[in-house]
Amino acid sequence: MRIDVLTLFPEMFQSPLGCSILKRARDNGLIDVVLTNIRDFAADNYKRVDDKPYGGGPGMVMMPGPVFDCFEYVEKLGTEKGRVILLTPQGQKFNQAKAAELSKEGRLILIAGRYEGFDERIRIGLGAEQISIGDYVLSGGELAAMVVVDAVVRLLAGVLGDEDSAKDDSFSEGLLEYPQYTRPSSFRNMKVPEILLSGDHGKIAEWRRRQALERTKKCRPDLLG
Ligand code: 9D3
């Protein structure tokens, strides 16, 4: 999968992309992530990419020119058209089903904004869909873009080892994870449940299903519908 990210802060992506699963996916050639700085496409000597909103109001708006020019440059770097996604607070709420859907694509073009938002002609002109990662206010779209990249990439075939296969994920089952324990079997007088030490895999599976259900009922009843 090819993932292009258009952003004013490409440096913000370096750490997450350089660690753990995302690093391995890149090293193994399973994904090609290309960061492009929208500011490089500013038209004036001040490198302006934002301006005051028509009609007045607080804050600044991302100008269409630099984003369009950046997009048209980036689009030509790849062979495929790809899904164009603006990260915005008013987008569709991102979830595991959306991650699974995006993981089927050959190319994603993510556009992260700053300031109060994008000039509306950017969304319309680029035929972009909008994604939000939740109902809280971030400083910009970069962290949201990284969340999308992380959730999507770990679903790609060959990215995860057998030991942490994506089909085991609690959300793909619609339930929360069961409680996990590792050694020691007693820690500060708190004991690992007997059943997990029993070696009875049928009983253990049954216990885990029950725990997952109880937990979901208690912590996230909304998931049970
Ligand atoms: C005054 C209205 N604000 C909208 C709630 C303005 C505003 C705040 C924060 C506009 C943009 C932003 C920056 N946020 C994002 O770019 C963003 C975001 C988010 O804030 N929450 C959840 N998902 C996302 S995706 C992009």
In ligand 1, the atom with minimum distance to the C-alpha of 145 is 25
Task: Determine if ligand 1 sits within 6 Å of the CB of residue 140.
Answer: yes
Topology, domain 2-153: Alpha/beta knot (3.40.1280)
Catalytic positions, written as ranges: 89, 116, 154, 169
Ligand 1 centroid vs 168 CA: distance in angstroms?
Answer: 32
Same CATH fold assignment for domains 2-153 and 170-224: no
The strand pair at 190-191 and 186-187 is best described as: antiparallel
CB 22 within 8 A of CB 153: yes
53 burial class (0-12, 13-18, 19+ CB within 10 angstroms)?
Answer: middle
pTM of the predicted structure, to 2 decimals:
0.96
Of 111, 79, 86, 98, the closest CA to residue 2 belongs to 79
Ligand 1 centroid vs 137 CA: distance in angstroms?
Answer: 5
Whose CA is closest to atom 11 on ligand 1?
116
**E-only strand ranges, 94-217:** 107-112, 117-118, 129-132, 186-187, 190-191
* CATH superfamily of the 170-224 domain: tRNA(m1g37)methyltransferase, domain 2 (1.10.1270.20)
Q: What pLDDT is attached to residue 163?
A: 57
Q: pLDDT 10s per residue in the chain (225 long)?
A: 999 999 999 999 999 999 999 999 999 999 999 999 999 999 999 999 999 999 999 999 999 999 999 999 999 999 999 999 999 999 999 999 999 999 999 999 999 999 999 999 999 999 999 999 999 999 999 999 999 999 999 999 999 986 566 766 767 679 999 999 999 999 999 999 999 999 999 999 999 999 999 999 999 999 998
Residues 6+ apart with CB under 8 A from 72: none
What's the angle, vertex CA 74, arms to CA 71 and CA 79, rounded to 5? 125
How far is it, in rounded angstroms, from Cα 64 to Cα 120?
Answer: 8
E strand or H helix that includes residue 205: helix 201-219
* Domain extents in the chain: 2-153, 170-224
